[in-house]
């Protein structure tokens, strides 16, 4: 999950070079608490954009503040968000994400879990991430002409098909993550002409018979 539920860090890769204290490993309990499209969206917004109130988030996504408040409390119960003590007041509660992202250390625990609700939560989570990725690409394509020329030349929408063994596929996955992480922190916030860049990496086998 993304740094959004979207999130690279939210993806199903095995333990990878970017494992750290601010990337939370998901277990069956926390996955069941997170695997709801609205909760995943709220958490992604807090991770990407910083602290916010339930009413502020509701206004941005067209939901009622009652719904966002309920799901934020659920996220808090599972350890994904906490109160922001630097912003909260007696009348207004601000929330912030606890971690930069989430990860699966291994999917086997979830794919073969005896509880069908856990397996269902995994399906919901993964399909929500995939849907969110598609929506983000669509938003970019729909707003491409609003960006400066240099950004119109600095994006990519590619796909490849190569023959690999499972071992080489895992090696490729880890190398891509390692490369992406090597760019983290190289551009300070507020740098002129910089922007937050979303990187979606999908790798999966396909049947050809």
Given this model, what pLDDT does residue 20 score? 66
Q: How far is residue 67 from each of residues 55, 88, 95, measured CA to CA in Å?
A: 10, 19, 15
Helix or strand or coil: residue 67?
helix
Given this model, what pLDDT does residue 91 score? 77
Given this model, what pLDDT does residue 187 score? 96
Q: Return the exposure string of 86-113: e unless at least 16 CB atoms fall within 10 Å of the residue's CB, then b.
A: eeeeeeebbbbbbbbbbbbeeeeebeeb
- Give the mean pLDDT per block of 10 residues along the chain (209 residues): 38 46 91 97 95 96 96 97 83 92 91 95 97 96 97 96 96 96 94 95 90
Given this model, what pLDDT does residue 85 score? 83
| CA-atom Rg of the chain in angstroms | 18
């Amino acid at each position: 999950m993304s740094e959004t539920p979207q999130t690279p860090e939210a993806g199903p890769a095995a333990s990878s070079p970017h494992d750290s204290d601010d990337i939370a490993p998901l277990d069956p309990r926390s996955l069941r608490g997170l695997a709801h499209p609205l909760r995943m969206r709220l958490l992604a917004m807090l991770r990407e954009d910083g602290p916010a109130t339930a009413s502020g988030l509701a206004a941005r996504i067209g939901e009622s503040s009652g719904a966002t408040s309920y799901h934020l409390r659920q996220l808090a119960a599972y350890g994904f968000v906490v109160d922001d003590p630097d912003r909260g007041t007696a009348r207004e509660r601000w929330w912030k994400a606890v971690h930069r992202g989430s990860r699966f250390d291994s999917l086997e625990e979830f794919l073969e879990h005896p509880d069908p609700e856990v397996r269902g939560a995994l399906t919901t989570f993964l399909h929500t991430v995939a849907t969110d990725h598609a929506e983000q690409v669509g938003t970019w394509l729909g707003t491409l002409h609003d960006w400066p020329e240099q950004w119109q030349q600095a994006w990519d929408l590619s796909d490849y098909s190569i023959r690999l063994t499972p071992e080489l596929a895992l090696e490729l996955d880890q190398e891509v993550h390692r490369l992406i992480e090597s760019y983290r922190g190289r551009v300070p916030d507020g740098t002129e002409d910089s922007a937050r860049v979303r990187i979606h990496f999908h790798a999966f086998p396909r049947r050809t018979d």
